[in-house]
Amino acid sequence: MTGSAGQVGGELLLELEKKFSSNDIVVSDINGLDKISDDYEKIILDVRNYDLLKQIIKEKDIKYIFHLASILSAKGEENPKLAFDVNMNGTHNVLAASAELGVDKVFIPSTIGVFGPEAQKDNTPILNSSRPRTMYGISKFTAEYLMQYYFERSHLDVRGIRYPGLLSYKTPPTAGTTDYAVDMIIHAARGMDYTCYLKEDAVLPMMYMPDAMENTMRLFDAPLKNLRYRGEYNISAFSFSPGELAEAIREFVPAFKVKYKPDSRQKIAESWPRSLDCSDGVKDWGFKARFTIREMIRDMISNLQK
């Protein structure tokens, strides 16, 4: 696993533990590995280092790669050169090394950020006018093409999901546009007011992390012959705006108050779809989400308050 210390890594490890022994999992990241359990073998890896990546794949006899290392939307706009380098060159390194060394299967997440302002806003299908405007979206969109390229050129089994905003009470996100949702619930659980950096009516597709992880493994385990797409599968459980989320939180924390002070992330949010057509994932590999917004908020608040 690359990028193991990020928002998704720790949660995906819980899912992988259901399938593999911790002795068989190698976690890597450029930093933050001290946060991860010592049950796993840990290796410091900058995915831009092709030689080291190849050395690890060979020496550890890596069969599967979960390539999570990525610079997300908001941080990517602060440092576009870094986002290009990590997201494009790092991802190309993983694909080229996997193809060359015969890795059995690679999972690379994509994002709703691959869509741009001209795309259909509601029930957006997989194949739709894209033209992303953030460096994150541009690099992830290109990564989807690279996945198709290595599938056709080298028969590399590479799969991916376009994650919507992911909510978790375990790892606070720090670099994306959808992060407000997690932050809002954390504030509510602590009895604090919240100032939101998106407008009250900025609707985005979202999903609870356990659902995202279960579906990641569902796609990972699906027979290759059923997959009509490589990295492009849309998934989301529901869509909401900051105003709607605040209202739903008030069922559990009635005194919760939110102020709105939109910043540059509002423009990113406006360029993304409000809701996605997820029917291709349902058809090809059985995509389904368990948690409603209400169940997610209840679970997050009760765990945060513990």
Applying CB under 6 A, the residues found at the interface with ligand AKB are 72-73, 111-113, 136, 163-165, 176-178
Give me the least distance between CB of 74 and ligand AKB, in Å please: 6
Closest to ligand AKB by CB, 2 vs 111, is: 111
Let me know: does 279 contact 216? Beta carbons within 8 Å.
Answer: no
What is the C-alpha R_g of the chain? 19
- Residue 185 identity: I
- Residue least distant from ligand AKB (Cβ): 176
Nearest one of 75, 107, 81 to 94, comparing CA atoms: 107
Q: What are phi and psi of 233, to 5 degrees?
A: -65, 120
Q: CA–CA separation, 238 vs 45, rounded Å?
A: 35
Let me know: does 157 contact 239? Beta carbons within 8 Å.
Answer: no
Could you tell me the two tokens for 29? 């990241």
* Residue 44: strand pairing partners: 29
Give me the least distance between CB of 23 and ligand AKB, in Å please: 31
Closest to ligand AKB by CB, 103 vs 268, is: 268
Give me the least distance between CB of 63 and ligand AKB, in Å please: 27
Phi-psi domain of 61 (left: phi exceeds 0; alpha: psi -120 through 50; beta: other): left
Q: CA–CA separation, 27 vs 5, rounded Å?
A: 9
Q: Among the options 40, 136, 197, 229, which is catalytic?
A: 136
Q: CA–CA separation, 266 vs 258, rounded Å?
A: 16
Place of tokens 């490589």: 230
Closest to ligand AKB by CB, 9 vs 176, is: 176
Q: CA–CA separation, 297 vs 161, rounded Å?
A: 24
Give me the least distance between CB of 76 and ligand AKB, in Å please: 8
Closest to ligand AKB by CB, 93 vs 110, is: 110
Closest to ligand AKB by CB, 7 vs 103, is: 7
Give me the least distance between CB of 163 and ligand AKB, in Å please: 5
Give me the least distance between CB of 21 and ligand AKB, in Å please: 30
Closest to ligand AKB by CB, 40 vs 291, is: 291
Q: CA–CA separation, 139 vs 108, rounded Å?
A: 12
136 is catalytic: yes
The 8-class DSSP code of residue 56 comes to H
Catalytic residue list: 136
